[in-house]
Chain A
């Protein structure tokens, strides 16, 4: 069992950071960790860049993950994986969806959507990319990307699968449970192949 986890969950307001962090927090709690989760509500949720912090350890004080402290950055949107990179600690890991939501300045042509893959490679960050579109197509539901990514991430934690499934069951409405459990399974089936680092 790992000693501690400092995790950033990043994305665009409305992508479901909060639910994801609830499930994560509950799984850590049931595994015996002290846990703190810090969420963002209100104005920032309206399509802006959002971050949720999840920390687990023997004793957790600050609910925030500090800069240069995160073991993992989990990004539900590709560009957001870059925005919070200063929070990653040395040898920390970025797990990101290849889903793109262009910010307003990109839509209006004032700025360019960056080439996330090559930037991460150039800086030499350890990263896994989840090619999400085809998976979502297979499930015919665009709202379960988080659960797919949870499935993938869960394998890195050393926590039993049943603990995760129970946390999902406790936090997701009955109507949507089945599809989410399938999405979770699909995430776990993604091969844990770290992108080749070209430093």
Chain B
């Protein structure tokens, strides 16, 4: 049956068809939906792990024990999972292990634009790169076969436009696959003596993979009628087809290792060949190493951001695209904002009023606290970095400068806990605000160990963040209600006077979460009482606007009541039904 399917859904379906038994992940855009879709299959055990390292270790365990396993993550998640990945390359697997990694060219929802192909190459692991949903499905399935054929993990690399595009697929049926586990210390215990032998095997495996790449059906030449020639893969292939439908294309589905004979033969037929790939010149450099020099790549195509058909065309033809309709005036920008009723708004409103403070931030919706009107964040680097960085700053800053780390609940569990242990162990003087909205917000409400529910929505043991912090030895651990703005400003200021490691958990559920959502009637502004002081507008709430006086859109208002609590004139109240 033909149906439209999201790339990530197709990866999930391909894994289902391949008889996958275990799927693990930590959510991260643009990879999250792979595991969300898989969680709907009862045949597959799935889980949200606290971070990508653990997720990969779980999947690796299952694979070595003879069941096909998938681990999914976004590009930066692979940094976290690199430790097990590099050595899993040595041990090999038993049943197939596919690591699905989604890159984010253009950084729609990421802090950097790193290229997964480089990491996979460094780990000596083959990389498959689908270019639409049908290939997502087929390559996922094929990935397990290649994984088993060569006893290696396989990276299935997608990008945002592949993961988050729907295109037509035909689905197959599930086939169960089982391998027997045999204890094999030489293979699975990577002590130096064993690892030395395994490294030899890895190098020999790479040679065989190179041979395999020459003939595997994932790499193919599409003959054309024009004299233009391209080497490309992934989404760039689609853009090239769109821009130059008549061109001759070497379409690579397996982008590492590369088929040298195939590439040489192809390039030998043409005067010049364009190599089209987003981000790093990965194909280009690996082709140049072969001694092939009639290729054109990054000297005309950019290394940053996303491509498009018109980008490729205008870069090659050195021309400009004709734009029929343009606007002269500059439009007001619309960057992402905290949602109406978001509990983070209260925290940042309070933080904005804390004097002499450096605020290290972290990864999540609350990174938006760095933007106006709050401007209440100094740094954001990677998952969990806020705590370690705050600790580092506190060790070198003047005594009157106060250091605050802001981190979400899911991010704290992902990589903040070790930072907190370090801060306590090394006698830090910082305040840590854990913004606990009882979900993983930005990626779309995935459960985590402190929500008390697993990926299937079943109740499970609930991690108590406050107790955890106490057991680590923090000097102060307390909970606050993020909506009580004025109280919180005072409390944070008081706590900053106390030496040591202070943890404040600002706990209130995400306003968009169905589990916690209660629909209240919205608030409204009484024009007779409003003195037009505009204090309510400083909340930066997207449900509010200003005409003659502040106005609240009842369709958007989540009735958190913060504007009401700020109004000194009692002009804001709840709509009576």
Contacts and interface: CB of A to CB of B under 8 A. Distances in A.
A102 to B, nearest CB: 4
A164 B332 CA distance: 35
Contacts, number: 181
Interface string B309-345: 1100000000001111111010111111111000000
B167 interface: yes
A13 B126 CA distance: 37
B238 interface: yes
B3 interface: yes
A68 B443 CA distance: 32
Given A12-B334, A36-B167, A64-B308, A41 B444 contact: yes
Contact of A104 (B167, B309, B322, B540): B540
B161 A64 contact: yes
B331 A82 contact: yes
Which range holds the interface residue count of chain A? 35 or more
Interface string B473-495: 00000000000000000000000
A36 to B, nearest CB: 5
Contacts of A102: 545-546
Interface in A150-176: none
Nearest to A100: B545
A44 B30 CA distance: 12
A1 interface: no
Given A13-B336, A62-B309, A79-B332, A40 B168 contact: no
A106 interface: yes
Nearest to B241: A61
B325 A125 contact: yes
B248 to A, nearest CB: 16
A44 B109 CA distance: 7
Interface stretch (A86-94, A177-185, A188-196): A86-94
Given A29-B4, A62-B238, A37 B29 contact: no
Interface string A10-52: 0011100000011001100100001111111111111111000
A110 B537 CA distance: 13
Interface stretch (B61-69, B84-92, B365-373, B497-505): B365-373
B242 A107 contact: no
Nearest to A21: B166
A39 B166 contact: yes
Nearest to A49: B334
A133 to B, nearest CB: 10
A68 B310 CA distance: 10
A85 B325 CA distance: 6
A43 B29 contact: yes
Given A29-B168, A47-B336, A66-B309, A85 B556 contact: no
Contacts of B523: none
A134 to B, nearest CB: 14
B376 to A, nearest CB: 15
B418 interface: no
A40 B165 CA distance: 9
A35 B167 contact: yes
A114 B109 CA distance: 28
B238 A35 contact: no
B452 interface: no
Contact of A36 (B29, B166, B335, B546): B166
B164 interface: yes
B542 interface: yes
Closest 3 CB pairs of A and B: A42-B109, A42-B29, A48-B336
5 contacts: A39-B166, A43-B336, A46-B339, A48-B335, A66-B309
